Amino acid sequence: MSRSLLLLPGDGIGPETMAEVEALIDLLNREAGAGFTVERGLVGGAALDAHGLPISEADMAKALAADAVLFGAVGGPQWDGVPYEKRPEAGLLRLRKDLELFANLRPAICYPALAEASSLKRELVDGLDILIVRELTGGVYFGEPKEILDLGNGQKRGIDTQVYDTFEIERIARVAFELARTRRGRVTSMEKRNVMKSGVLWNEVVTQTGRDYPDVALDHMLADAGGMQLVRAPKQFDVIVTDNLFGDMLSDIAAMLTGSLGMLPSASLGRPDETTGRRRAMYEPVHGSAPDIAGKGIANPIAMIASFAMCLRYSFAMIREAEALEAAVAEVLESGTRTGDIMAPGCRQVGTTEMGAAVLKA
C-alpha cells in the first residue's frame, strides 16, 4: 500500500523539528513496511526566497495530490517587510483554503511526567486527553458583511457577521462524531443558543446529525459555561465540537492546561476525496517558527512528532503505530529527558536531535 506524504518544513525551527519526523518515517518504512513515499516542498519565507511566492503552484499541486501534508512553521523577522499578500503566513492560508480544511483538531493531552509543571492542580490535568474540534472555514471570521462603516457624526461602526449554513455545521459535527467513536464515545457541542441565532441552528443541526450516531453520547453546553468547565474540571470532556470563534478561544485555553507550546500538535481535515474516500489533511504543530531559538538545535520536536502521530491515526488508520509513537514520547519524558522549554529540576536537558533520537529509540 502506498501512502504519500508532502513535507513542508518551512522556516525557523520548522526544518529542525521536521528532520526528527523524517527519521521516524524512515523507521516505519524500514521496520514496519509502512510504504510511505515522501515529497518535499517549500513554504513561507523559504518559498518566498526561492520563487517570490509563499508557496509555488507546483508545491500546491503536490499538496492537493498527497494523502497528507506535514507542515512545520512559517515566518520570521527577515520577511516582516514583504507585501501583505506575499507574507509567509499567506502560504499557510492558501493551503487551508485550497485543501478546504474545515475541521481543526486540537488535542489537549497531559503527559503524566509533565502534570507537575502544569499551571493547574496536578489531579485536574494528570492523564487529561480531550480533543477540540473547531470549525475553521466559516463563522464570524469570514461572514459578510464585514466592514467598518463611517457613520459621519464622528462615529464609526465595525461589523462582523456570524454566518453558518446547515451543511457547514453538519460536516463538522460528523467529523466530531466519527472521532468520538475512536475515543471514549462522547461529544459535547458548544454554542450560545441563548443569544445567537447561529447558535440555535448549530444546536439543532448537531442534534439532528447525532441521530446517525446512536452509539455516541451527545450533550450541549453554552460556550461560556464550557470555558469555565474546561478550567474547573477538564477531564469530564472527550470530544468538544464548536464554531470558529469559540473554538479559537477554547482550544487556546485547553492548550494551556498541558504546558509548553513545544508539546502541542494539531490536525486540519477536509472533505473525503471522491475516489479514495480519504480526507484531505494537514498536520502541524501549534507553535510558530520560533526565530529566537532557530538554528540553535534546542527546539522541542515533540509537537511536530505528535502531529505526525495524528497523521498516522487520522489519515492512515495506523492506530497501533500512532499509539506506539505517543507511548514512546511519554516514556522519554518519564525518563527525565527534556528540551529546555519543558526542563524541570532533576531532569537531563537535551537538544532537538537528542530528543528526536530518544523518541526513535523508544
Which residues line the annotated binding site?
A: 76-89, 96, 106, 134, 224, 248, 252, 288-300
Question: Is residue 332 a contact point for ligand NAI (CB under 6 A)?
Answer: no
d(CA 300, CA 355): 8
- Catalytic entry in 26, 141, 160, 235: 141
Which of ligand NAI, Mg ion, none does 147 bind, CB closer than 5 to 8 A by kind? none
Among 8, 48, 92, 105, the residue binding ligand NAI under the rule CB under 6 A is: 92
Tell me the Ramachandran region of residue 100: left when phi exceeds 0, alpha when psi lies from -120 to 50, beta otherwise: left
Q: Which of residues 61-90 bind ligand NAI (CB under 6 A)?
A: 73-76, 89
Question: Is residue 46 a contact point for ligand NAI (CB under 6 A)?
Answer: no
Half-sphere exposure (CA, 13 Å, Cβ side) for 268?
A: 21
67 catalytic per annotation: no
Residue entry with cell 504519500? 4
- Catalytic entry in 67, 111, 192, 314: 192
224 catalytic per annotation: yes
Which of ligand NAI, Mg ion, none does 143 bind, CB closer than 5 to 8 A by kind? none
Which of ligand NAI, Mg ion, none does 248 bind, CB closer than 5 to 8 A by kind? Mg ion
* Candidates 126-134, 245-253, 282-290, 312-320; binding stretch for Mg ion (CB under 5 A): 245-253
- Tell me the binding residues for Mg(2+): 224, 248, 252
Among 234, 247, 262, 270, the residue binding ligand NAI under the rule CB under 6 A is: 262
Q: Regarding beta strands 156-159 and 147-150, do their DSSP bridges make them parallel or antiparallel, or are they unpaired?
A: antiparallel
97 catalytic per annotation: no
CB 339 within 8 A of CB 297: no
- Tell me the binding residues for NAD(+): 76-89, 288-300
192 catalytic per annotation: yes
248 catalytic per annotation: yes
Q: Which of residues 266-305 bind ligand NAI (CB under 6 A)?
A: 284, 287-293, 299-300, 303
Question: Is residue 227 a contact point for ligand NAI (CB under 6 A)?
Answer: no
- Catalytic entry in 26, 126, 160, 248: 248
Among 26, 39, 100, 248, the residue binding Mg ion under the rule CB under 5 A is: 248
Q: Which of residues 2-31 bind ligand NAI (CB under 6 A)?
A: 13
Known catalytic residues are 141, 192, 224, 248, 252
Contact set with ligand NAI (CB under 6 A)? 13, 73-76, 89, 92, 261-262, 284, 287-293, 299-300, 303, 341
Contact set with Mg ion (CB under 5 A): 248, 252
